[in-house]
Every structure is written in structure tokens, then in C-alpha cells.
Structure 1
Amino acid sequence: MTPGGALTGRWRVPGDKSISHRAIMLAAIAEGETRISGFLEGADALATLAVFRQLGVNIDGPDGGLVRVRGVGMRGLQAPAEALDLGNSGTSMRLLAGLFAGQTFPVTLTGDVSLSRRPMRRVTEPLALMGAQIATTADGTAPLVITPTAQLKGVDYALPVASAQVKSSVLLAGLYANGETCVTEPARTRDHTERMLTTFGYSIRRQGLRVCLTGGGRLSGCRLTIPADISSAAFFMVGASIAPGSDVLLEEVGINPTRVGIVNILRAMGADIELIDRRTVGGEPVADIRVCYAPLKGIQIPVDQVPLAIDEFPAIFIAAACAEGETILTGAAELRVKESDRIAVMANGLAQLGIDAEPRPDGIRIIGGQLGSTAATGAIDAHGDHRVAMAFAMAGLRASGIIEIHDCANVETSFPGFATLAANSGLNIVEQRV
């Protein structure tokens, strides 16, 4: 990236990754046909789609975001001929561990080097309480070897740490369990699984931070529209907030109340963000989001916003680096076990750009200042983390010199075409493929 520029225009970022995963999973085990529009054609979501083709599900597409899935019902999946490779997708592995725990055939789940380092006991342990038999490495990582069990039993599980992936994994296993399965959260997390189960006609009972379902029901095929991903929109929201002269309109972005931490945090920092034409699409609230440049100030990020913005913190850290004063994040230890250790990797990258960034066990302290260049310090290493790479790309809008980002091919996992869209919007970015 060469320094400077402003973001302008209106566009729709790709479909929501979290919802795309769940749409394929539930459509596959539903009865009848499901037609999905807005599906994210990124590597992670495509990995989930490929898995269900290996399990005998007839799927047409994706073609311009359109997918048609002919569901096989709750018990219609077929045993795969080989291990199922989920690439870099932690969401796929954790959710599918729950879905496959109740099947009548063995399954092995594998992934790339990054995914094979991520912790999986957080899902295998509660699933074991239900009777699931899932073997991991000695470190509790993939591959996951799932052996059929006679019958899963419902569980009343209190999450020790707020995690939508763990909640969803337990609920998906609960579809195949005897009796009632309940999950209680310590704090609110994204509720896409619950919303989508309801869309497919499955009864869900919610009360506060507790959600329950009874196993043995059925899902019915339907039509789904997937909104634009707020996690992808977040990079442009931050870019427009930090670059003078910016004015962008992001169309049909999902504003699920369990995902709007990025909006709340940026507004608390002084960002000029307007939500226009609020409506419902595919069971999810959406809006067009207009963002104009505004000077930002550092804040103490409210702990209750952390689970609502857990995937957006790399972008938020760039906003903090461009804000006046100090920004402090606590209660976000989950960032240590994402596609990379996002606290350490972002702190190292910010330090290379001359920003005072102090990593802490569960967060970070950032003092806003002038972003520099990597010309003297060397390129920023994104450690294969798509969100880190895109965050530092936006830093180029306020840097004093060129920023080079290496090991960033995984941007395609969540945001295919990011570099092209960013360049067309005003970011001085050049993508070099090796």
C-alpha cells in the first residue's frame, strides 16, 4: 500500500461467512430443497459446502451467490470415503463436530496447519458430556476422529467462556440427542444458529442467556437470503472513519444485535456512522451503513461489547492507532486463539508502524499516533490471518509511507475480491501473487 487516499462510493460486501456456513449445514439435513442467495464464495464457506457433497448431498452452485441444496433429512447423510478437509475454517470444524457427533458413521475432520493448531477441547468436552466420542491430538487439536455412539443424551451446559461456536456445536448435537439440550451463556453471543433453526421450522426456546431445544425434530427446506457480512464491512467502516474526505455507503449489511459491537465501539470513539433503511432479510436484521470521516478518540472498550465484536478487533486496533489518546481492551483472551494470536500479531505490526501497542494477556493498550512505514522495519507478517491482513491494508490510508503485508493469501477465506474492491474505493493497494 502506498500512503494516503480516501474511501468513497457505495457497494455490497460479500455475504456473511457465519450465516453461509450454517445455511449449508442446515439445508443439507433439512427435508426438501433450500435455495440460498447471497452465499459467500470464499474458501471457508466453500469448504463447508464441499464436505456435504462428500456426504452425498446434491448441491448446485454457487453461481453468483446462488446455491440450491437438496436436503437429505436428519438421517440421510452418507459416510464419507475419506477424511473431511476443512482447510482454514475453525467455524466449520467446531460446528460440524456437534453435527457429526450424532451420526451413525465415523468421520475424521482435518484442516490446514493453522486450523490444526487451534483448540478443540472447548467443543469436544461438552460434546463428551452428551455421550459423543471424539478423539483429538494430545494437545486437544485436530484431526478430530468422531466415532458413532449409540445415542446422544441432552445436556444442560453452562458455557465457561462466551462462544457462539461452542453454543452452536452443542445445539447441533442436541438435534440428535434424547431429551432437551440447553446452553447458558455468560454473555450474549451471535445467535445465527438459533435464528436459522427457526427459519427451517425447528422449535427453539430462548429465555435471556439460555437457549434450549428438544432432539428428534425435523427441518424443512426453505428460501434464504444471506445479508452482507458486517465483519467484512468493518474494514471499510474503519477505513472511512480514519481517512479524511471519506464517505461510503455499505449496502444490506447484517446488523444482528449480537454482531454490532463494531458499530457501538466506533461510535463511542467518535465515528460518524448512520444506519439507513433498517429491514429484515432472511430472518436477520439488515441496514445500509453510511460512514463518513470523523476524528476518533481513544476509549476503554466496554467489556460487554467484546463478544459482539470479537472478529472485528484487528480493524478496531487500526482505528485505535489513529485515534487521539489511549484505547484499552480487556476481556478478549479469545483473540489469542483465532487464526493467529491476534493480540500479539497486531501489537507487533503496530509497533513496526511506530505505534505504542502493549499486548496484555486478555487484551491490549494502544496509544494513538502517526502510522509510519514498514520500509525501515521490514514487512508486516499477517501470519496467514485474513483479518490481520485486511486491517493493516486499511492502515495505508493514514500511513506516512509504504506498508508491505506478507503471508496474506488467506484473505480469500472470508473476502474474495477484497483488494480489487478496496482499490476501486480509493485505497492505494497493489496485490502481488507469488
Structure 2
Amino acid sequence: MTLLEKQTGGNVLVTGILGSVFNLLQEVTNFTTQCHQVKDGGWGSQVGDRWTGMVGEVVRGEADIGVAPLDITLKRTTAVDYLVGFLYSKYRLVMRRPSASDFVWTAYTKQFQTEVWAAVAMVIVAAGVVNILVVCCSRRWGSSLRLSDALIIFTGCLLGQVLLAHYTSDLITALAAGLPLPTVANLDDINQDPSLDLGYLKGSSLTEYFKESPALVYQNTYQSIVADNFETMVESLDDGMKRVISESFVFMEWDVPILYNYGHDCRLFMLPSSYFPTQASFIIRKGSPLVPVLNRLLMEMQSAGILRKWQEKWTPQVTTCQQLHTDPMELKSLFTVFLLLAGGMILSVLILIGEVLYVKLVLKQTHITTHPYSSRIQQTPLVITNGTQLEGTM
């Protein structure tokens, strides 16, 4: 929304939507300016009796007007005056979109929940035990195949087909539809997930919103931020997005600057929930006589549709990030398959080594024990008497 181009002497040139508004105000009222970037990089929050950021510079007289989309809050209005609100937006949550590297170990197990895999394992063990009992009992009763044998075989085959059908259908659907979206959807989900950190711009009005709001979810969020000693705060929008991409970090900011600067980046995902709808405008020194003049000009701009025109001009196209083509599967997507294959090969080699050692070390030590006088026993010739076969020993 506000783009800064560095000039000589430490000054900056303001462009973008807000830059266009400010330049028109300057042209109509015929005043000259020298713009500089905020020294501490903050928007403006009260720390004790002192104001920081852009609000602090205007309060101390270091600047006459603050050109930025500053939220109109009750606490700030006690220190500075706002021009009429001409920007409307809300805060959104942004986190990293899941990638193939997030599912290296679960790419072929996430089709079933943990409880389902546990049930499958128990059924396999139970079916194996029942099968052994049925086979042993059938052999004892002298039957090669009984109804119980056929029933256990049929049940096992049916169970295998049903499980295989559900597993393959989910796997094929996942491969065709692409990676799943994040499982969290709102601020409450983030508070309940200890692996995620929530942050926003240092000195923004969000601290006041969270602290003053009576809603339990906002109070829990504020207490979590205080417990972290405000270490999740970032200096700029770019710093926040870098942490989102590289860490388990969720960034909260106006949706307009996010879409304007990062709407094309498909590595990011904006959660559907929105918070704190608010108006924003420029700030000016308390009691300045320029307030009614500038307010009248801003309202004329709004009535003429100039603000909407500039918003359309400076707003870039946002990428939908929908997968319109099929990409080749990466090695990390099939890593677990090759890992299972390698594990099976190693296991088979270990079993083979164990069998060889068993034959060489165990079976060779086994011998048949005979009677001590067995060498004296001689077999006598067979004698046939009246059709009867007799065998004698001496």
C-alpha cells in the first residue's frame, strides 16, 4: 500500500496507493514536504508514558503527518489526530502451505488414522491366531479342509480387499488433488497447537486489540505472547514472511498488504478466518489546523471514485495457486517406498544369515543317541512260514 523509494540525504519518495493520496493532497494544498522513514521501524504503541514508532515521532514533533495505514484506535486518538478513515480492511492469518517435504515419513500412512492402523494390526494378529487354531484342529480331526478353514480364508480375503480398496482410493485421490491444506483454520486452533508460534508487527495496534478484548480466545493469545516475552514480534512484513516460510510460524497482518506483496507466492496460505475489521488513515499532530482541510479533500476523493481507481491501479493480480497441471513426482515423495524396500531387503539378508548360522552351529551339534550294544545286534534272514513273515534278532 505504501512503497518507499530511497532518495539522497536520507529522504524517501512515497508511492503506492497511499503515496498517490498524499501526493494529491500535497498538490492541491500546495505544501512542500520532506519524507523520512520511521527511525525505529514501528507503527506506534505506548510503552509506559512514551509512544514509539510513527505515532511517537508525530507526538514529539519530529514529523507533522504520518503517511501510513494506521489503525484508528481509542488509545492512539488520545495522542494524535486522525484524518477521516478512507481504508477498510481486516486482519488475516498466514502460514506456510504444506509441501512434499512435510509428508516424507507419512506419505503412505496418512491415508488411515492411527486408530485405524492399530485396528488393522490387531485384526491381522487375531486372524493369524484363529487361522493357526483352525488348521491345527482340522488336522487333528483328520480333515484336509473343513468349513471353518474356508470361512477364515474367505474372511481374510474380504477384509484385505476392503482395506485395499479404501487405501488405494484415498491414495490416488491425494495424488490427483495435490497436497492437503493446513489443518488449522482459526486463532483458537493455533492457540491449541504448541508447535505453532503466532506473531505480528512490532508496535502495531494488535497488541492493544488482544489486551483490551474481553474475548477468551484473544486473552489466551495475548497471554501466550506475553509468556514468550514478545519474541514472536517482527520488525517488518518481509521478516514475518521469511519466518512463515522457514519456521512453524503464523503471521497476522492486514490482508491488503499481504495480498499486494505476497499474493503471487504459492508457498503461503491465508487462513479463512478474519479478525478485527478496522478503518485506517493518516495521523497528524494533535490540534493541527490542517485536519478539516485535508478531511474535506479526502471525502471529495472518495466521492469522485479516485481512491477506488488508485486501488485498482496498484493492486496486482493474485495467484489462485490451483494445481492446473501434473508435476512429476519427486524423490522425497517416494522416499518411504524405497525405504521400505531397502528395509525388506536388509531384513531378508539378516534372516538368511541367521538361517545359515543355525544350520552350521545348531544342527551339526545335534546327534542321534543309540543303545550301547546296538553294534552287536544283527539282522537275521527272513523266514517265510505258511505265508507269515518273521524277523528274528540275535
- Give the structure-1-normalised TM-score: 0.20
Query: Which of the two has greater strand per residue?
Result: 1
Which of the pair has more CA radius of gyration? 2
Q: 1 or 2 for the larger relative contact order (CA 8 Å, sep ≥6)?
A: 2
The structure richer in helix per residue is: 2
Give the TM-score taking structure 2 as reference length.
Answer: 0.22
